[in-house]
Every structure is written in structure tokens, then in C-alpha cells.
Structure 1
């Protein structure tokens, strides 16, 4: 089976992780930062948080969508055992290693900054996302394998028809509305280690897979109607910001969230579905950078905040230091020391895991849009 690389999805992952770093840096300048174990600046910025209120309703769900898409591609040339082995290497190993050896480090910096007693304990930290993803793979794999055997079935054609129109694609919001109606999360963006985050992620992961299962009809839809989805999202965000002080009813928030996501899919498919050396490098670096970014962010805050610079100046400096520091660690240490690579989700040098990894985000030419 000939395959075509999905460069737009590679870019989606890179962009989503980049936005996640910026979002986490912005938390430093909010009055409630310490309540979630972030170092807090004495110079606060309410203005800095305003754009983050738009971002925070879709920054995590889009990563779950992309992860579901990635699993679809990974399944195309693997049996169930190879898939579980590959996901264990790529997700479970970094998750367990990070919980033991990475997340405690930024808590050490937090404790040091506030002159607290240094205390070590393994915890999920920002890597909770990986634990959720591995659970979804295990829980949904029987369903996905069943769908894989029905690539030419009437069911697949039904999904192709459903995701062909904006109304059909927007109909999946009914499942997300049911989730928030049952769990009633407050605030909506409280994803980490909550049942809301788990089930919202499960739905996004599942529909990310189904979007790819539907093939080119999904991509044609989001590409053609990208401005419609962006417009709906912008209207709902304005309503949420002006009428509801950023925390709208759940049924409106999930529609806004998914419309932002569909719009981003459409724009990326239109403008970014092409190869580049920059993408190749960033795509490989994104996962390790995600794993280590919190320790670098905390160290940058530890160094910069004592100077009491204006909030926006400190934000820019910490952002630059965080991105530069993460990529230096990736380039000089993680990428170049073979035994470290598997702990950060990079390819192992074992034949079982080398085979066909390069096709992890590929699709058949017939499915390319």
C-alpha cells in the first residue's frame, strides 16, 4: 500500500505543543499560579491572560484529537501486538520515567524558590496527558481493530457522508455536550487529573480516529468551511468573554472548542500540508520538548523573576529562555545520547520498534485530500 505523509498533522502537533508552552508561561503572571504549584511573579498581568482564555478551551482537546489521528496512521501497518508494543515504547515508558525522574525536578525548583524543605515524590505533573492517552489506546483498541477490518464497509461510507458537511461534523458536539452536562466541570479547562479531562479526552481521541477513518471527506470539509468554523468559534468566544466573564455554560464552550479545532485543522490542511526540513526537525523535537519544558520554564522563572521586571518584559524573556533551553537540551543531550532516547519517546534501536515507524502519520493516496 502506497502512503502519503500528513505534514499538516505533524505541524498541528508542533503548533499545539508550542502553544502549550506559552500558556504555561502565562500562568506565572496570574494571581492564582501558586495554587497549582507554579512559581508566581510579583508583577502580574491580567491583560496577558485575556488571549489565554480563548486558547484554554481547545489547547488540550486538539492534542487528544491529533493523538487519535496518529493512532489511526500507526494501525495501518501494524497488528495489535506491534501497536501495543510501539505505544508502550512511545507513551508508557516516557510517562513512567517522567513521573519518577522529570516532574519532581520542577517541584524542587518551586520548593527552592519559596525556601521550602526539599521533598521528592513521584507525580504525574504535566505528563498526566500521556497516562490518559495510553488508557485510551488500551480501552478503544478493540473498537478500532474492528473498524480497521471494515475499511470498505457501509459503515465507513456512512462516516464519510456524515463528516462531509458542516452540520454532520458539528453533530459530534452532542457527545461532548452530554459529557459536560453530566460532569459539570468548573472551570471547563480543568483537564489535568479530572474525570472531565479523562472523558473529554476520550471523546476527542475517538473522534480524531474517526475523522481519519472517514478519509478525504473530513479534510475537504474543514478546508472548505474553515472560515465558517472560525467564525462560529469567534462569536461564541466573544459571547463567553463579554456575557459570561470567560466561563460560559458547558454546552456553548464545547461547541466553541470544537469549532476552533476544526478551523485550525482546515487552515493547517490548506497551508501547511507540505514537507520542510524545519518541520522534520521540529516534529522529532516536539515530544521531548513537551516532556522537559516545565523544568526549563521553572528554572527560567527562578532566574528572571527576582529582578522584578515589568510583566510583559519578564514574560518575553522567560519565553525565549524556555524555548531556547528546551531545544538545547534536546539537541545536545536527548537527541545525541542513545540510551536516553527511549525515555523521551524517541525511536529505540531495536528492530521491533524500527520497522515502519516512519509511516506513523501516513495515509493512502486515495485518502489524501
Structure 2
């Protein structure tokens, strides 16, 4: 079944992964970096955390939303057996390879940086995201195929009507607020390998699918009301910053998160839904870059932090190093060497349809 490609969703995935890299680099310059398993600069840039704290409540949830949207498009041209098999190849294989060969690399650099005894052990590290996505695919696939069979029915019509006004998306926010109330995360933005991250990701994945399933009404609504959603997000962030020292009650942070996300979706739909050669390249590169960025970033820190320059210059240098080396590794190794491609979630060279390579939002 032929479907119209949504270039804005591709762009949002690429931009969000780029922001994720910058966010992780900023952690290196926070005084608590070592306690979350990061290497740490001796000179901190705590001022960096003000903009990063605005980002941290929606940077991961939006990727789960996009992943659910991607599954909708993938289901248009695959039956359930084909879909599960393809997801196993494109998620499970890179996850298992990453556990034994990629994630341990940044732990090795961490040990070397802090002069700890060197040791190897397989672990997921930042690849926990892939594990969650694969579980969500298996968990929700029966529901999604049931909904697919009922397209045009009462539920889809009701959903379309609900999403046709600005209160519809905000009604969805109640589920995220309830999750925060029930799970009670001590730190809302701590998603990695926590029950909070799992349940929040499941909700975002599920509603990401439903937003696309509902039809054009959701997209027209977030496009029309994008500045209103962003204003609500900014207001809630101001309250969090001024009244709660950045860690507000979970239900407020959940509402802030969804407001940012709906506003960003609206901006993307309004301004980014057009093809480009750059997007085709970046959309293919984003998934491998996500997989390798942590050890590349740690290597940059290992080489640059000992240099006696201002920490702001160190931050810039590590950022440039990380993006540049990720590009080199992707362009000259991962993309070109046939047996490496599936290990990083890319299709084989014989089936290289650029722009449909990313499992985080595959079509």
C-alpha cells in the first residue's frame, strides 16, 4: 500500500537525535556527571543546564511518539509476520550487537578516564531505548492490527473528531500526568531502564500511532495551535524553574512535556514537511549515529578535557569532535561496508532505499 511520506516526521527525528547528542555532551560539564556514569570535566558549566532542563522533559518522549508513528507507516505495507521479522532484524540485531560490542566501549573509556581497573561486561547502556521499542512493537501489534482492520469505523471517526480541537491532544496529556502520579519518579527526566521510562515510553508509542491513525485532524490542530502549546510549555517551564528549582511535581512536568511536543509537531508540520537531499542523507544516518555517539563522545572527552582551555571551548570542541567522528564512522565504515550495515540497523546494499532506513521511525 502506497502512503504519503511525512518529511516533517523524518526531520523531527533527525533534529531530536542531534539535540540528544548535545544534551549528553552538556552532562559532561555538570558536577553530578560521574554519578550517572558520565566522564566529568574538572571545570563545570552549570549554566548549560538551564536550557538543557527545558529540553530534558520532552527529548526522549518525542522519540517514542515518532517511533509509534513510524510503526503506523510500516504496517501499511507489511503483514504482522513480515513486520515482526523486520523489526527483529532492524532492532534486535543492532541491540544485541550493541550490548556486546558498542556500549562496552564507552564504559572502557570511562574506566580509563578515571584510572579504574579495566574490565569488560556486556550491557545496554544508552541502547535501552531500542529494547523498549521492540517490546512495545510486540505488545501493541495485536491492537494496532485490530485498529487497522477497523479503519473508517466509529473509533477512528471519534478520534478524528476529538483531535479536531485543541483540547483533544491536551486530553491525551492526562494519561501522562496519571503515569507520573502513579509511578512517582524521583527524577522525571530519568528514563533509562526505569519503570517510569518504560510506562511513559509505552504511552507515547501508543498515542504516536493513534495520532497518525486519527487522520489529518491532529496535524491540522497542532499546526493551528502550535504557538499556544509552546506558550503553555514555556509557562510551565517558568513555574518549574522559579518555584521548584527545575524538578516540579511529576504531573506538571508531564503536562509541560506534552505541550512542548505538540508545539514541536505543529512547527514541523507547518515548516518541515518537504523533501530534500540533505534530509534523505541525514534520515539514513541518524540511527547508526545514535548507536555510536556515546563512545565517540567519551573519546572526545578523554582527548579534549585534559587540554587547559576554558570549559566553554572544551564543550564546543567535544561537540565538533563528536559530530565529525560520527560522520566519518558512518560515511566511510558503517554505510559502505556491507556486513556492518545490518548491525547498525541499515538495510543491505541490495535494498538501499534511502530515507526509509531508520527503525526509530521506519516506513
**TM-score normalised per structure 2:** 0.96
Q: Distance in 2 between the 1:143 and 1:166 partners? A: 26
Checking the alignment, whether the CA contact within 8 Å between 2:287 and 2:358 is kept in structure 1 is no
Match for residue 367 of structure 1? Answer: none
1:149 aligns with 2:177: no
Q: Distance in 1 between the 2:172 and 2:225 partners? A: 16
Match for residue 179 of structure 1? Answer: 179
The within-5 A match list for 1:250-329 is: 250-329=250-329
Query: How has the CA–CA distance of structure 1 residues 357 and 261 changed in structure 2, closer, same or farther, with 3 Å as cutoff?
Result: closer
Measure how far apart 1:61 and its partner are: 0.2
Deviations 1:13-39 (A, max 9, x none): 101100000000000000111111111
Match for residue 161 of structure 2? Answer: 161
Checking the alignment, whether the CA contact within 8 Å between 1:57 and 1:188 is kept in structure 2 is yes
Match for residue 52 of structure 1? Answer: 52
Measure how far apart 1:308 and its partner are: 3.2
Deviations 1:208-258 (A, max 9, x none): 000000010011011110000000000000000011100111111111000
Q: Distance in 2 between the 1:274 and 1:357 partners? A: 15
Match for residue 108 of structure 2? Answer: 108
Query: What is the aligned-residue RMSD (CA, Å)?
Result: 1.8
Q: Distance in 2 between the 1:362 and 1:312 partners? A: 37
Checking the alignment, whether the CA contact within 8 Å between 1:6 and 1:362 is kept in structure 2 is no
Match for residue 96 of structure 1? Answer: 96
Match for residue 64 of structure 1? Answer: 64
Q: Distance in 2 between the 1:343 and 1:179 partners? A: 34
Checking the alignment, whether the CA contact within 8 Å between 1:161 and 1:217 is kept in structure 2 is yes
The within-5 A match list for 1:1-369 is: 1-348=1-348
Deviations 1:341-365 (A, max 9, x none): 00100003577x98x96899799xx
Q: Distance in 2 between the 1:242 and 1:188 partners? A: 17
Secondary structure of 2:4's counterpart equals strand
Q: Distance in 2 between the 1:309 and 1:39 partners? A: 17
Measure how far apart 1:3 and its partner are: 2.5
Structure 1: state its 5+ residue gaps: 364-369
Checking the alignment, whether the CA contact within 8 Å between 2:347 and 2:357 is kept in structure 1 is no
Query: How has the CA–CA distance of structure 1 residues 153 and 166 changed in structure 2, closer, same or farther, with 3 Å as cutoff?
Result: same
Q: Distance in 2 between the 1:229 and 1:311 partners? A: 35
Q: Distance in 1 between the 2:255 and 2:98 partners? A: 33
Checking the alignment, whether the CA contact within 8 Å between 1:191 and 1:198 is kept in structure 2 is yes
Checking the alignment, whether the CA contact within 8 Å between 1:164 and 1:218 is kept in structure 2 is yes
Secondary structure of 2:100's counterpart equals helix
Q: Distance in 2 between the 1:16 and 1:132 partners? A: 18
Secondary structure of 1:185's counterpart equals coil
Deviations 1:307-358 (A, max 9, x none): 132121110110000000001100000000000000100003577x98x968
Checking the alignment, whether the CA contact within 8 Å between 2:346 and 2:357 is kept in structure 1 is no
Checking the alignment, whether the CA contact within 8 Å between 1:5 and 1:359 is kept in structure 2 is no
Q: Distance in 1 between the 2:3 and 2:61 partners? A: 27
Q: Which has the higher contact order (CA 8 A, sep 6+)?
A: 1
Q: Distance in 2 between the 1:97 and 1:68 partners? A: 23
